[in-house]
Amino acid sequence: KNNDKINSYAILDNVIGKVQPITFLVIYDSNFAISDFQIIKYREEHGGEVQNESWRNQFIGKRANSEFTINENIDGITGATISVKSLIKGINKTSLLIRSIVGNE
C-alpha cells in the first residue's frame, strides 16, 4: 500500500506438472499488468527450464486480460512441454482470479 492505495497484488498458486506440484507466484501491478513471475518450488525431475528468467520474463508487462497460449504469445520449451502448459494454464487462472476479485481494468 502507498497512501492507503494498493499498488500491487500477489497470487501464490500451484499447478500440477507431469506428476508433481509446481508452486509459483504472480505479482500484478495496480494496472493489472504482470510485474513479476517466480517459480517458488519446482518438484519435477524434468522440465526445470521453466525456472529460467528468460522464459519467465515473457509474461512481464502483459496484462491480466491477456490470454496466454503456448507458441502464440508464449514460447514453448523442448523437454518441458507439460510444465509450460501447466504454468500457462495457472497464470491464465490467476489473471482471471485477479480480474474477478479486484475488477476489470
Q: Which residues contact 93 (CB under 8 A, 6 or more apart)?
A: 13
43: containing domain: 8-102
Indicate if the alpha-carbon torsion angle 92, 100, 35, 66 is positive or negative: positive
Residue 59 confidence (pLDDT): 97
Whether 46 shows a pLDDT value over 60: the answer reads yes
Q: For residue range 71-103, what is the model confidence (pLDDT) as tens digits?
A: 999 999 999 999 999 999 999 999 999 989 887
Indicate whether 1 belongs to any domain: no
**How many domains are contained in the chain?**
1
Indicate whether 20 belongs to any domain: yes
Indicate whether 94 belongs to any domain: yes
Indicate whether 51 belongs to any domain: yes
3-state SS class at 13: strand
Indicate whether 41 belongs to any domain: yes
